[in-house]
Amino acid sequence: MDLHAFFRDEAIETYGEASLTALSERDRGYVKEFFPPGESVIVFGEAVPAEAYSLNARDQTKIMLGIAEGLNDAAIRLESMLDGEGIPARHIPLYLPIRIEDGRVRGVVRLKQVAAAAGLGAPGKSTLLLNREHGARLILSGVVTGESNLIKTNSVQKQENAEDHANQNPDICIGCGKCIKACPAGAIGPDGVEVFRCRTISPWVPGPVVPIAKWLIGRQLLLRCIAPIAPWIAKTATIRCSRCVTECPVFGGRNWTQE
């Protein structure tokens, strides 16, 4: 099975694999809870074009949603291909794969941390993944698999040295704090991002409702109710603010300079 050929056919250039041994104990637990046979996560992404951030909110959202749905479709096809080869696999769903932990919203499988372990970048102060080529513009998807080292040849060496890559990547973020200062809602703090304060989310979940929403999410009640209409919500919502992305010095990648 040639996964390089799969991603080439899908026109996806940014991809990698992280075995469970390359993940933190917490992230290993998340993966096993999501898919008990899991031994590795194949993670891949596509960058939002830099020029998209100069468009109006509706058009910007349309582009981002199109990329996210395209990656999700690719993840479903990859899952099917792996299953056909007798390898257990489960794609990480696009809509509402979240939990509440320590009072904060977390992904069921934290793709940013997985991508960092796979050598694709490192989280910045904004907690967004910073990639050397694309800055913070990558949208991610992934598939949990029942085997490891599925991406062969050069990527095997990359996977074997995943922790070394992850340790080298933090210099992508220079610690300037511009993303923190740029956030108009003050959603980015030293302990991460308070999602419900983000201007993209807050119109859907007003402040007084946040404790109730967290309580419902913690018991999966809200997710079960919203899951059937989540695609419709995503299509009608708009990205109201992207300043944590656009204000980053590596917005366009390592060699990009803001005019």
Residue 153 belongs to a domain: no
Residue 136 belongs to a domain: yes
Quick one: which of 125, 145, 129, 175 has its CA closest to 20? 145
- Say yes or no to pLDDT of 122 above 60: yes
Residue 160 belongs to a domain: no
Paired residues of 18 in beta bridges:
41
Residue 254 belongs to a domain: yes
Residue 163 belongs to a domain: no
3-state SS, one letter per residue, for the chain: CCHHHHHHHCCCCEEEEEEHHHCCHHHHHHHHHHCCCCCEEEEEEEECCHHHHHCCHHHHHHHHHHHHHHHHHHHHHHHHHHHHCCCCEEECCCCCCEEEECCEEEECCCHHHHHHHCCCCEECCCCCEEECCCECCEEEEEEEECCCCCCCCHHHHHHHCHHHHHHHHHHHCCCCCHHHHHCCCCCEECCEECHHHCCCCCCCCCHHHHHHHHHHHHCCHHHHHHHHHHHHHHHHCCCCCCHHHHCCCCCCCCCCCCC
| pLDDT of amino acid 158 | 44
Paired residues of 103 in beta bridges:
none
pTM given for the model: 0.79
Query: Are the beta carbons of 117 and 40 closer than 8 angstroms?
Result: no
Query: Are the beta carbons of 31 and 144 closer than 8 angstroms?
Result: yes
Residue 155 belongs to a domain: no
Mean pLDDT, range 108-129, rounded to an integer: 91
135 pLDDT band (50/70/90 cuts)?
Answer: very high
List the domain range (segments joined by +) for residue 227: 1-148+168-259
Residue 189 belongs to a domain: yes
93 pLDDT band (50/70/90 cuts)?
Answer: confident
Place of tokens 């080529």: 133
Taking the CA atoms of residue 245, residue 111, residue 122 and residue 43 in that order, the dihedral angle to the nearest 10 degrees is -110
Q: Which residue has the higher pLDDT, 121 or 212?
A: 121
Mean pLDDT, range 88-93, rounded to an integer: 94
Tens-digit pLDDT profile for residues 217-257? 555 544 455 545 455 555 666 788 899 999 999 887 755 44
| pLDDT of amino acid 246 | 92
Q: Which residue has the higher pLDDT, 21 or 196?
A: 21
Residue 57 belongs to a domain: yes
Query: Are the beta carbons of 126 and 179 closer than 8 angstroms?
Result: yes
Total domains, the chain:
1
| pLDDT of amino acid 167 | 45
Mean pLDDT, range 82-94, rounded to an integer: 94
Place of tokens 């913070």: 136
> What are the two backbone dihedrals, phi and then psi, of residue 129, each rounded to the nearest 5 degrees?
-70, 130
Query: Are the beta carbons of 129 and 16 closer than 8 angstroms?
Result: no
Mean pLDDT, range 122-142, rounded to an integer: 92
- State the Rg of the chain over Cα: 18
Quick one: which of 236, 237, 212, 235 has its CA closest to 225? 212
Query: Are the beta carbons of 38 and 27 closer than 8 angstroms?
Result: no
For residue 190, give both structure tokens: 């030293």
Tens-digit pLDDT profile for residues 140-180? 999 999 999 999 744 334 444 444 444 444 568 888 889 98
Tens-digit pLDDT profile for residues 32-62? 989 999 999 999 999 999 999 999 988 998 9
- Say yes or no to pLDDT of 97 above 70: no
